[in-house]
């Protein structure tokens, strides 16, 4: 376990989930920790990174878990969730599938879970300010996810360690979070958590699961 820290914040609607068949939408945003680097290895000889293709049991596909792909179409979700979103990086296992499966286990009558991958590896939180490219891309996907009926239940944001050591990042966190509230146009609240950096390539996903 590394000595530095990762910033995670979770935006959740304040009303309870309805137990129905419509999509319960969860937006996945932030940088590489959310996009997923589990199982990604670097060949020190060639410098090429590849995913080993190993999918842990808690991240296996489930017909009740969908994802909005790059073409804004709903398809059955599978790892790597961000392979068609974070296209300039090699993607592997992330926290999204494990989170979705845990939500279904805790709410057996919930219906469909719809994941909306939006994370981009190597980005700074200041790049997600309202009106900038990453914010606009995310909001386009959020709006598209609502076309076929469904409710946004939460936005899960996993930001990397570089934004926890720079004091100005707290100012940017405030800017981005306020922009998200305005953009979503819904009643939400924030949970800000610091977690030790987990070696996600070892598939230790439990710290990311919300009970």
> Which pLDDT tens digit goes with each residue over 75-124?
999 999 999 999 999 999 999 999 999 999 998 888 999 999 999 998 88
Helices (H) and strands (E) in the chain, counts: 4, 9
Is the pTM higher than 0.85? no
Question: Where on the phi/psi map is residue 203: left (φ > 0), alpha (ψ -120 to 50), or beta?
Answer: left
Q: Using alpha carbons, select from 157, 186, 191, 209 the residue that is nearest to residue 13.
A: 186
- Please report, for residues 40, 105, 159, 172, the alpha-carbon distance to residue 34 in angstroms, rounded to integers and kept in the order given: 14, 21, 8, 19
Helix ranges restricted to H, the chain: 32-35, 96-106, 133-145, 168-184
For strands 113-117 and 65-68, give the pairing.
parallel
Residue 4 CA from chain centroid, whole number: 20
Q: Which CATH superfamily is domain 5-39+53-208 in?
A: SGNH hydrolase (3.40.50.1110)
- 169 pLDDT higher than 80: no
What residue segments make up the domains of the chain, in order of their start?
A: 5-39+53-208
């Amino acid at each position: 376990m590394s000595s530095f820290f990762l910033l995670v914040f979770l935006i959740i609607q304040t009303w309870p989930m309805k137990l129905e068949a419509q999509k319960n939408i969860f937006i996945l945003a932030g940088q590489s920790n959310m996009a997923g680097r589990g199982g990604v290895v670097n060949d020190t000889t060639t410098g090429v990174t590849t995913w080993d293709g190993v999918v842990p049991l808690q991240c296996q596909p489930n017909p009740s878990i969908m994802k909005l792909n790059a073409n804004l179409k709903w398809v059955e979700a599978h790892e790597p969730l961000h392979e068609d979103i974070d296209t300039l990086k090699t993607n592997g296992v992330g926290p999204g599938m494990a989170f979705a499966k845990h939500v279904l286990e805790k709410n057996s009558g919930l219906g469909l879970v719809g994941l909306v991958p939006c994370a981009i590896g190597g980005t700074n939180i200041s790049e997600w300010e309202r009106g900038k490219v990453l914010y606009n891309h995310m909001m386009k996907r959020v709006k598209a996810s609502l076309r076929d009926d469904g409710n946004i239940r939460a936005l899960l944001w996993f930001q990397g360690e570089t934004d926890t050591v720079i004091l100005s990042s707290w100012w940017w966190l405030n800017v981005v979070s306020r922009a998200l509230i305005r953009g979503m146009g819904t009643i939400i609240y924030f949970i800000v958590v610091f977690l030790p950096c987990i070696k996600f390539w070892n598939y230790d996903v439990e710290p990311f699961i919300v009970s």
